[in-house]
Amino acid sequence: MRITLDNVGRKFNRDWIFRNIHLTLESGNVYVITGPNGSGKSTFLQILAGNLPLTEGKISYSLQTKIVSEDNIFRHISVASPYLELIEELTLTEVIEFHLRFKQLRDNLNVNSFIERIGLQKSKDKFISNFSSGMKTRLKLGLACYSDTPILLLDEPTSNLDTTGIAWYQKLISETVQNRLVILCSNQVYEYESFGNILHFENGRLLQ
């Protein structure tokens, strides 16, 4: 999978968050996006996911040299972020079953084996509304990382995780990034310390 950004820019009201971004991102790489709070990391990720429009420029997605249309790109992308909402009226099992209607899981995981992987076996019939913030983060990370998609987008992945949860995340990410195009927005070194492609947002520019 390849993402090509040509003169990409996004403004909020009259102010540019970032602009003049020219970049090619390819499968088999983990790209880490760093930068101060408010520098545009999350906005950039939401644009790549197709959730926000560009103000200027163009983004194209290609799979084995074939262009993927904007209408179909969601099939190829998995996202985990603090602002991603879960359906709180469903149980854990129901959320996973709903997810499986749109995206399959890697490693031939089924509902029960997935729940075991994310360490929530005792909560499979529990409503999401009764989950702690850390449990919700585990679920969101698990759904994103274990979904069988070529693109993985992670924003502040260990937000709300305790020490045990962070160790679980580090194992999870090491097992699920191979042969994918991964973009990870973070200012916490322990979230990306094993990866080398660092891009930095500063004053509306993306520095390589």
Phi, psi (rounded to 5 degrees) for 62:
-135, 145
pLDDT given for residue 95 in this prediction: 98
Domain count for the chain, please give it: 1
**Average pLDDT rounded to a whole number, residues 2-17:** 96
Cα angle 115-119-122, degrees, rounded to a multiple of 5: 75
- Tell me: the pLDDT tens digits for 160-198? 999 999 999 999 999 999 999 999 999 999 999 989 899
Contact 153, 77 (CB under 8 A): yes
| pLDDT greater than 90 at residue 53 | yes
pLDDT given for residue 208 in this prediction: 82
| pLDDT greater than 90 at residue 70 | no
- Tell me: the pLDDT tens digits for 131-147? 999 999 999 999 999 99
| Residue range(s) defining the domain that contains residue 97 | 2-207
Q: What is the CATH number of the domain that holds 129?
A: 3.40.50.300
pTM score over 0.85: yes
